[in-house]
Structure 1
């Protein structure tokens, strides 16, 4: 590193030190990001509420109808993450995440007023549309922010960041079931207390969000470039603009990988409590507890696969993620033994979470971290597509006749076919999609000579 760069970095660090109250060290920010993700990750406990809504004691809805609010949430995540990803580059991570957290909490609280079967629209509007939009705004912020703070270990750190999202149901599933049991005829009342708790946690966590000083980020990136694994940090492949990334086939291939992984995993997550009861004979309370335990694997998978992807490579990791899910989906409708069901479900949850732990750093590796919030935010359309298709497809395939074998087998076969995608996906060539950027002209000419 040059003396002038060190001097500049020291000056920036000094200024940042004077603003320490506003910009704490990166480990404090990581802890706060995990707290925030824990709050919004409660969405993965939906199967507990879905099962309660289907009860004749409550609203008596069909599986398909009970899946709609969850599908709408996941459908709105893309819109929220797109808005949040673009806004955080202009307004900073704190204000965007805080606004998104307030919107999400309001949506959940609104859902608590849908106290009878005729108020389906309010549950969809509050929990689904408003809550989903706010969730998307919050979700994308820590992912983009932490890649800037930790350019030296992107897979592991983004895995940790989104692990909190996976762990969210660990708390919400048993707490939600306890709240439902207090008012079984109106299970939506649980959302009032949950929404208030989310609001408090989100306001506390997002208060500490901040981007690193520009000099500090540049220093970390330069130091990382000394490692042979980070040689592309100084190549023309880095820092694609959003429109440049969208002109590459790689963006669409990565989005398709995410879509297929989400479709596979969410098909179990959406009906986890009911499947545990109907296939393996779990009681209602045991099924709710299982959903909470499985959330540990959802969260743990994000860390595990994020770390593994740094070791073995991104596409081999996605090949494993899709392959394991496919095999387990084919086996799980035949798992009448409670332990076997739990093991297969845990593997699916681990791989489902793994895609979210691996894809942000993959996007950063392919397109650079400068605009990764907006680029990955757009890629989350795959989450929304899979999140809408998966629950509705599995609910329609299972039907009132509880045809779990047909449902999981069809989705398992689709996932096997999807394993082709990582095999044909490669990083963009030097300067791909960036020919129009004059600031990349030199890199483009160098890349052309190299090829």
Structure 2
């Protein structure tokens, strides 16, 4: 009788709460939409093409993308705070609208004199909206899936990594196939921004937090108590639950943030110039380079899930050693390959490791500082994403220059990643003393 009553109550709660898998689908759709930001290198290559009306240096071409990543942290910081008060739907809808409007606005840039419009639309508005929308599914879905927290976190951030898979070839097809688009490639943003708005609003419209009495299906035993096998045991990892203020007072918070900063700086250096690098280093055609960018999005997304799962088996710190070490070695080798297959392999390693840092860091924050405030603590760590997103594209563009110094550029970035291997080696969880 007790079992029937508990089961009925659980089913009633779940039914009243809604279908969590629909909410997961909405979260992935939003992440796919905003993850299209990683297709920038396809637009960057088109802007630098001889037929383009834009006469931009590689550094100038990187500015809209780096501003977008720089604005992302402001969006995640404010979005997390507003979400706690207003709920996830309003924050996600606002983020999608701002992001899409920014992309559409960038679509009205026609030549070099309109660089400011690219920066304002794609960079400032797009980046801020991206940050608002990005943080919501990660926090919300963990509440809907307490029984699958690690997997769902990986899926949530993985969706973001897959965004360029769809967008890059679509962008290239618009630019190469529509009359006048090769001279003014930014026109593609008008179509893409409209698509982002439709699909992003569709996904965000189903967002909501579960009710206070929500119980995940299968997460309770017959007597209504939590299944001991499913209980979190933070004491075995974190010494205690740290508040945001306490975490910020420890050197460990800054070391973890530095790991993300280094990984982003190294990985995004290739992401920001991937299409151009593929063409000039390994002889890819324009269409093949756009396809590469799209396919690499798969490895970006898969790396977020695969490295997070690997870290469960080998530990977080060894995983970060692997992420930074492999990333560094692949970057050193990249400018010396002369064929398509090897370029694909090395690029896949770099993208996988880049995504892996995002997949592994949320769990690491929980290991170091406890689970109670891990979402907020991790959200603050995303400043490393913004810093790396500014430094990486700017530095690689400056190093490569108009002379195409790819060996210099990727060698420097590879060394940065390899030096970063030291950080997870010395970073250890803080002790329990208050």
Q: Same fold (TM over 0.5)?
A: yes
Partners of 2:198 and 2:240 in 1: how far apart?
38
Aligned to 1:206: 204
Mean CA deviation greater in 162-171 or 152-161: 152-161
Distance 1:212 1:301, change over 3 A: same
Aligned to 1:158: 153
Partners of 2:239 and 2:266 in 1: how far apart?
31
Query: Residue 365 of structure 1: CA displacement?
Result: 3.4
CA deviations on 1:321-345 (whole Å, 9 max, x unpaired) are 1111011001000011111011000
TM-score by length of 1: 0.88
Distance 1:85 1:10, change over 3 A: farther
- Verify: 1:320 aligned to 2:322, yes or no: yes
Partners of 1:356 and 1:298 in 2: how far apart?
10
Gaps of 5+ in 1: 436-451
Aligned to 1:119: 114
After TM superposition, list the pairs within 5 Å mapping 1:226-241 onto structure 2.
226=229, 230-232=232-234, 237=239, 239-241=241-243
Partners of 1:427 and 1:103 in 2: how far apart?
38
Query: Residue 216 of structure 1: CA displacement?
Result: 3.7
- Verify: 1:29 aligned to 2:23, yes or no: yes
- Verify: 1:50 aligned to 2:41, yes or no: no
Query: Residue 19 of structure 1: CA displacement?
Result: 4.4
Query: Residue 280 of structure 1: CA displacement?
Result: 0.3
Aligned to 1:73: 68
Aligned to 1:173: 168
Aligned residues: CA RMSD:
2.4
Partners of 1:247 and 1:319 in 2: how far apart?
24
Q: Which of 261, 265, 268 pairs up with 1:263?
A: 265
Partners of 2:355 and 2:424 in 1: how far apart?
17
CA deviations on 1:243-263 (whole Å, 9 max, x unpaired) are 222122222111111001101
Query: In 2, are the aligned partners of 1:140 and 1:373 still within 8 Å (CA)?
Result: no
Aligned to 1:448: none
Q: Which of 391, 396, 399 pairs up with 2:398?
A: 396
CA deviations on 1:230-271 (whole Å, 9 max, x unpaired) are 321699855533222212222211111100110110011111
Query: Residue 88 of structure 1: CA displacement?
Result: 1.2
Distance 1:11 1:87, change over 3 A: farther
- Verify: 1:99 aligned to 2:99, yes or no: no
- Verify: 1:38 aligned to 2:36, yes or no: no
CA deviations on 1:191-236 (whole Å, 9 max, x unpaired) are 11111111111111112222233344699598476468x3216998
Query: Residue 77 of structure 1: CA displacement?
Result: 0.5
Distance 1:10 1:425, change over 3 A: farther
Query: In 1, are the aligned partners of 2:17 and 2:210 still within 8 Å (CA)?
Result: no
Query: Residue 146 of structure 1: CA displacement?
Result: 2.1
User: Aligned with 1:214: secondary structure?
Assistant: coil
Q: Which of 72, 78, 84 pairs up with 1:83?
A: 78
Partners of 1:13 and 1:93 in 2: how far apart?
24
After TM superposition, list the pairs within 5 Å mapping 1:355-434 onto structure 2.
355-430=357-432
Query: Residue 311 of structure 1: CA displacement?
Result: 2.1
Aligned to 1:254: 256
Partners of 2:206 and 2:364 in 1: how far apart?
26
Query: In 2, are the aligned partners of 1:13 and 1:216 still within 8 Å (CA)?
Result: no
Partners of 2:147 and 2:138 in 1: how far apart?
15
User: Aligned with 2:233: secondary structure?
Assistant: helix
Partners of 2:227 and 2:282 in 1: how far apart?
49
Aligned to 1:191: 189
Partners of 2:237 and 2:324 in 1: how far apart?
30
Aligned to 1:60: 55
Gaps of 5+ in 2: none
Query: In 2, are the aligned partners of 1:144 and 1:369 still within 8 Å (CA)?
Result: no
Partners of 2:118 and 2:205 in 1: how far apart?
29
Distance 1:83 1:11, change over 3 A: farther
TM-score by length of 2: 0.91
Query: In 2, are the aligned partners of 1:71 and 1:388 still within 8 Å (CA)?
Result: yes
Partners of 2:254 and 2:175 in 1: how far apart?
41
